[in-house]
Amino acid sequence: MDVPVNITQFRRKLFQLADQALLGEPVEFIHKGVVFKVIPEMKVSKLSRLTQETVVAPGANLDMTELLKEMEAEWEKDWSEL
């Protein structure tokens, strides 16, 4: 919201504007010539709104122990060449 709303509009849209503030968007309203800014007490992390997605990689072995063994073997190979 770019322009502050008046107090009547703020009251009518209170919950909508509160949700907007939670999303990190600026919310301002005017009452008796004074501009008020609404911000959540604790800022909500953008990462908290992420949804989990399944990674699909046909034929990929995502076992960490196997990956670490492969990495270690490559390191030992590289170091042995020095």
Alpha-carbon distance of 1 to 39, in angstroms, equals 13
Protein fold of 1-46: YefM-like fold (3.40.1620)
Highest mean pLDDT among 25-34, 43-52, 73-82 belongs to 25-34
Mean pLDDT of 20-47: 85
Domain boundaries, the chain: 1-46
5: number of Cβ within 10 Å? 16
Would you place residue 66 in the very low, low, confident or very high pLDDT band (cuts 50, 70, 90)? Answer: confident
Residue 7: is its pLDDT beyond 90? yes
Average pLDDT over residues 42-65: 75
| Collapsed DSSP state (helix, strand, coil) of residue 36 | strand
pLDDT at 61: 66
- Which residue would you say has higher pLDDT here, 54 or 36? 36
